[in-house]
Amino acid sequence: MMDCRTARQLLDFARPRRPELEAAELEELEAHLADCPDCGPLAQVERQMDSRLGQAMRAVAVPENLRGRLLARLESQRASQVRKWRRRLAIPAAAAVLLLSAWIGWKWLEKPLAIDVEQVADADQGKIFNPRPEPVEDFFRAEGIPIIAPPDANYLFLREYYVVSLQGKRVPKLLFTDGKSNTLVYILSAKDFDVAAALRTPVTVGSGWRAVMRQDTSGKYGYLVIYLGDPPLKIFPDKDEQPGT
């Protein structure tokens, strides 16, 4: 359906009916002018002005062949404007067709990803059967979060580690388990969290859990340790911070 902007661009080429406009374009333009409360009156006024101007011109004596030369020049100018207008419309349309064709071709060539079972299994096995803090630090460094993993934790119980969102910050989280009880360790940067304030109340007890706040020797990181289960899983050697004390 034709809009007002297009209709007003084509209006000049339809006064009077000119061969530059195709029949479909002219029909669509006339339908728009018949329905549009803005373009319709405008077209009527312009056509009345054309009619009066034509009458005035016909009443003036002109040199021989002048009228023919003027009409020929106007015909040439209008045809040139129509060609330019159609080229401007054709360029975005051609670009859209090319983009659509490229997308269809890419989707047609795209194939489902092959499942690399060995790579997935090796990655999980490396997490479970490599009980040292260094692989943990390497993993989070690759995620853009350099950390110091707790060096005195019992990594034999480590089963998983990943990045979580804690109060809007990306935080490393470690899961230790013996199959019955779980211990969670959040590694918190002292730049993002007030570790010093949390250490003033190092032990917090809730319903079914017990939390202990620890700190690495550099003071750059705090370890929020949450014990879940009964009996709680012991992963640190410090007697003053054991879940049972």
**Of 21-30, 68-77, 106-115, 134-143, which has the strongest mean pLDDT?**
134-143
- The chain-wide mean pLDDT, for the chain, equals 79
Q: 41-50 b/e with 16+ CB inside 10 Å = b?
A: eebeeeeeee
What pLDDT is recorded for position 243?
Answer: 46
Asked if the model's pLDDT at residue 24 lies above 50, the reply is yes
Please enumerate in sequence order all residues whose Cβ is within 8 A of that of 114, keeping only pairs 6 or more positions apart, or say none.
none
Phi then psi dihedrals of residue 27, to 5 deg = -65, -45
Q: Are 12 and 42 in contact (CB under 8 A)?
A: no
Asked if the model's pLDDT at residue 16 lies above 60, the reply is no
Report the percent of the chain where pLDDT is more than 70.
Answer: 68
What pLDDT is recorded for position 41?
Answer: 77
Higher per-residue pLDDT: 200 or 90: 200
Q: How confident is the model at residue 36 (pLDDT cuts 50, 70, 90)?
A: confident
Asked if the model's pLDDT at residue 128 lies above 70, the reply is no
Residue 143: count other Cβ atoms within 10 Å of its Cβ: 13
Report the percent of the chain where pLDDT is more than 90.
Answer: 37
* Residues linked to residue 45 through DSSP beta bridges, in sequence order: none
pLDDT in tens, 178-195: 989 999 999 999 999 999
